[in-house]
């Protein structure tokens, strides 16, 4: 908790105390109060008790330790790609994905003074989503752990020549002036969050609506293994909406893949595709099945 800037500490302590009184309602997120994770938690469940955590690992640990019933983590952004290294964090945490939430992202430039500004602090994702705005104004992008934390840090610095890029509410929380709104470079800027819990959801309990299933797998180290592994999804008509590769360890000999598909175990087509995938894999780990919040395609 002491890693937060001083202007954010009292708010962090207040929210943490509320969450501690009713952990089942708590939803942990990465960042200071007022960040996009905070907003996402309240949008996903308006009755939740938001629990700020300094890092993604801390947010997951809060669920593992029973201090929160759920965590909400940003996984990808329409403009700047992958947000969190969920590919590493989620399998190691043993948590399960139980939901998803899509949230439009709008950034504001905020500061103590009126400008001009030499630099702007924010999370690397927000800086990347606003890079043209910053470049046109000659402002140096400086990374911070999260957007609202950057606003609190600028307030703590007391330097009128530096600014922060954060949700508009962060200016109200930390006593900054909003200099410009909607500074993101794309008007349709969107982030997808996943909701995590200790126990996964039974696909049969999710009703008749569309579902998503997420898993990680490592194919056998033989020629055309990935091509063969993917064949079952094509022949069974299962839509794979996301496939990303990443390396585990330093050998660079085995690639692990993270995938989302439309559908759920129990659907014969999905079951056949997953069975064929498993045949070509050294490892296949299911990370969760959950209701689809937004149609793909």
Angle, helices 56-64/86-93, rounded to nearest 10 degrees: 20
pLDDT in tens, 43-69: 999 999 999 999 999 999 999 999 999
Range from 197-201, 247-251, 270-274 carrying the lowest mean pLDDT: 247-251
Cα(168)–Cα(126) distance, integer angstroms: 13
Give the distance, in angstroms, between the CA of residue 126 and the centroid of all CA atoms in the same chain.
Answer: 13
Beta bridge partners of 103: 191
The dotted CATH code for 203-291 is 3.30.70.260
| Domain topology for 6-104+190-197 | D-Maltodextrin-Binding Protein; domain 2 (3.40.190)
Domains 6-104+190-197 and 203-291 share a fold: no
Residue 120 belongs to what H/E stretch? strand 119-122
Residue 121 has pLDDT above 60, yes or no: yes
Q: At residue 186, what are phi and psi to the nearest 5 degrees?
A: -120, 130
List the catalytic residue out of 54, 56, 191, 215: 191
Cα(124)–Cα(126) distance, integer angstroms: 6
Domain extents in the chain:
6-104+190-197, 108-181, 203-291
Q: Which CATH class name applies to 108-181?
A: alpha beta
pTM of the prediction? 0.93
Catalytic site includes residue 54: no
Cα(59)–Cα(44) distance, integer angstroms: 16
Q: Report which DSSP code applies to 139.
A: P
Q: Quick check: 158 and 112 in contact, CB under 8 A? A: yes
Q: Quick check: 27 and 51 in contact, CB under 8 A? A: yes
Q: Quick check: 148 and 8 in contact, CB under 8 A? A: yes
List the catalytic residue out of 29, 56, 133, 193: 193
pLDDT in tens, 127-142: 999 999 999 999 999 9
Report the length, in residues, of the chain: 297
Query: In the numeric block, which tokens belong to residue 61?
Result: 């640990």
Percent share of the chain, pLDDT over 70: 97
Percent share of the chain, pLDDT over 90: 84
pLDDT, the chain, mean: 93
């Amino acid at each position: 908790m002491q890693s937060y800037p001083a202007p954010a500490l009292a708010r962090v302590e207040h929210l943490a105390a509320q969450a501690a009184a009713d952990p089942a309602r708590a939803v942990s997120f990465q960042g200071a109060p007022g960040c996009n994770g905070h907003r996402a938690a309240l949008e996903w469940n308006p009755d939740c008790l938001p629990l700020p955590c300094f890092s993604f690992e801390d947010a997951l640990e809060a669920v593992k330790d029973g201090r929160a019933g759920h965590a909400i983590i940003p996984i990808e952004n329409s403009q700047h790609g992958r947000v969190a290294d969920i590919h590493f964090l989620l399998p190691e945490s043993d948590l399960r994905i139980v939901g998803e939430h899509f949230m439009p992202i709008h950034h504001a430039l905020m500061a103590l003074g009126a400008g001009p500004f030499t630099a702007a602090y924010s999370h690397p994702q927000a800086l990347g989503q606003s890079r043209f705005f910053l470049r046109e104004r000659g402002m140096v992008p400086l990374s911070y752990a999260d957007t609202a934390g950057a606003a609190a840090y600028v307030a703590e610095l007391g330097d009128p020549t530096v600014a922060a890029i954060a949700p508009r509410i962060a200016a109200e929380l930390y006593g900054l002036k909003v200099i410009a709104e909607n500074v993101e470079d794309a008007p349709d800027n969107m982030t997808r969050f996943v909701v995590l819990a200790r126990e996964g959801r039974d696909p049969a309990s999710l009703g008749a609506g569309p579902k998503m299933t997420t898993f990680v797998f490592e194919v056998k180290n033989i020629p055309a293994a990935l091509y063969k592994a993917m064949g079952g999804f094509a022949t069974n008509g299962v839509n794979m909406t996301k496939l990303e590769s990443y390396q585990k360890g330093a050998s660079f000999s085995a690639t692990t893949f993270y995938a989302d598909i439309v559908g759920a175990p129990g659907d014969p087509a999905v079951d056949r595709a997953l069975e064929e995938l498993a045949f070509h894999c050294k490892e296949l780990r299911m990370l969760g099945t959950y209701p689809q919040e937004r149609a793909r395609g």
